[in-house]
Structure 1
Amino acid sequence: MKEIIRIAVQKSGRLSEDSLSLIKECGIKFYNGTGKLKSTAFNFPIEFLFLRDDDIPGYVADGVADLGIVGENELVEKDKQVETIKKLGFSKCRLSLAIPKGEEYPGISYFEGKNIATSYPNILNTYLKSRKVNASIHEISGSVEIAPSIGLAEGICDIVSSGSTLMMNGLKEVEEIFRSEAVLIGNPGMEEVKKSIVEKLLFRMNAVQQGKGNKYILLNAPNDSLEKIISLIPGMRSPTVLPLAEKGWSSVHSVLSEEQFWENIEELRQAGAEGILVIPIEKMVL
């Protein structure tokens, strides 16, 4: 029987969407219809388990799944014996303390002797201890934002993306205690044959992510400015320079990060670059 690896992915929500999008961009084809809890890829030796995000670290630690994609917040909160293989750069958020928006906030001492509702008691407890604050932590599994309005707690500690949910519930963010993004985790005791499959998966993931972070740049440049323009778009090794039909001009092709391009765009134009095209890169292998 051909060896396969199992990867645990959140069964619904933003993290699930981002995770499956990355896997599909890696050229891996599978069916994940509504309500489906397990699926096998058609063209890669991998099986998917669709689980609750807070169950994923445990499944990976126990060896039920070889890999998992989970938020760092859940990984740290559950504190399971797993290996963090790769940060994935999506589903970024923060874990923050919040209080009713009408309250004055003098600093972290506000929470001394108070009650805080959260779904992340371990992360919160570690933070409060580091700040030498004694507070009572009330663990609840959902709808944390309602706790102050029903008298359960004076503040909350919860995941924040845009802050709109806090505002809708009459709360304001006062302390950021943890930053999170999606990570790929693995079972430390994985067999060598499975590790080789994981390496192939990582190769594909890296190619997709490197492509997303860079752009293919084409532009026309006067030959007397080539040296300056090339210094502004150095590329992976060096730019490609091709002569145009019009004498005294060349076409310059290069790859660089989008951020670097925007930093240099004005200098490129001042150096005489024309007809600048910025093209997305689907995959990039270094």
Structure 2
Amino acid sequence: MSKLKIAVQKSGRLNEDSMRILKDIGIYIDNGKDQLKASAKGFPVEVFYLRNGDIPQYLKDGVVDVAIIGENVLIEKGNDITIAEKLGFSTCRVSLAVPKSSKYSGIKDLEGKRIATSYPNTVQDFLNKNGVKAKIHIINGSVEIAPNIGLADAIVDIVSSGSTLFKNNLKEVDQILKSEAVLAVSPVLNEEKQAILEKIQFRIQSVLKGRESKYILLNAPNDKIESIINLLPGMNSPTVLPLAQEGWSSIHSVISKNEFWDVIEELKANGAEGILVCPIEKMVL
């Protein structure tokens, strides 16, 4: 049986998050230090550890079949590559920044100015859409230093917390795009490997759904069940079980992790007691 070749970033936060989700979907990789390729245990997968910027071309050429890669890299170097899944981790943004001392009222202020970046195609598209002509200096490495040494008037780079900009006396003034890790697919994937990919996608979807949700259990007086159920739609409907104490029931459901604080406050106001909220490892729909 053919093995599906998955590319991940060689090092860094995206590498760590990629290996974590592979482990969560039951793909265990035994890779030694500085190893560039490793096979999974009990699953037809090989993992290739590659430079992030090289991965789009490897996908196009069919050297690797799929990749866990930042969406921003695909937009820059492989926007014709299909995204099979958005993975929800390693989020960042590609933003425009200028020195803190600079006055900035809008993108038109960069007319005729110099912009340093590792994302020339992304920046050029952004400038074209806004009808601005500027000089782009391509820098591979520490882009933030460019304004401080007089090489550029502004930079475009990935931003997570913004601390690197702050340390280099820069301020974020415009967001070009948002990015997260995605599962990208080679355009030359064959049917046999497509079947393996579909199994992986099923597992990933189950893990991501679990990460987005919380399992909630609570006790409620029977005369409050209807009002509480209206707050807990769950997957289909909440589970209601009678308790040993007469007139009380236990209610079990699933809620979005982004909503559970607001929901819990409403539940308490409607008579719920003994509320227990648990993480969900995986959720198969």
Match of 1:48 in 2: 47
Shift of 1:103: 1.2
1:159 aligns with 2:158: yes
Shift of 1:115: 0.6
Per the alignment, in what secondary structure is the counterpart of residue 77 of structure 1?
helix
Identity within the alignment, %: 58
CA distance in 2, matches of 1:105, 1:26: 46
Contact 1:58 1:80 in 2 (8 A): no
Structure 2: tracts of 5 or more residues without a match: none
Structure 1: tracts of 5 or more residues without a match: none
Per the alignment, in what secondary structure is the counterpart of residue 109 of structure 1?
helix
CA distance in 1, matches of 2:162, 2:98: 13
Question: Cα 1:80–1:64, aligned 2, differ >3 Å: closer, same or farther?
Answer: farther
Question: TM-score, normalised on structure 1?
Answer: 0.97
Match of 1:217 in 2: 216
Match of 1:117 in 2: 116
CA distance in 1, matches of 2:31, 2:274: 43
Question: TM-score, normalised on structure 2?
Answer: 0.98
CA distance in 1, matches of 2:26, 2:105: 52
CA distance in 1, matches of 2:190, 2:105: 53
Contact 2:222 2:248 in 1 (8 A): yes
Contact 1:61 1:80 in 2 (8 A): no
Shift of 1:240: 1.1
CA distance in 2, matches of 1:158, 1:97: 7
RMSD between aligned residues? 1.0
Match of 1:38 in 2: 37
Per the alignment, in what secondary structure is the counterpart of residue 218 of structure 1?
strand
Per the alignment, in what secondary structure is the counterpart of residue 28 of structure 2?
coil
Per the alignment, in what secondary structure is the counterpart of residue 41 of structure 1?
strand
Match of 2:168 in 1: 169
CA distance in 2, matches of 1:123, 1:261: 37
CA distance in 2, matches of 1:151, 1:273: 63
CA distance in 2, matches of 1:32, 1:213: 30
- Size of the alignment, in residue pairs? 285
Match of 1:19 in 2: 18
CA distance in 1, matches of 2:148, 2:133: 22
Contact 2:95 2:176 in 1 (8 A): yes
Shift of 1:80: 5.8
Matched residue type, 1:165: T
Shift of 1:54: 0.7
Structural mapping, 1:114-263, within 5 Å: 114-263=113-262
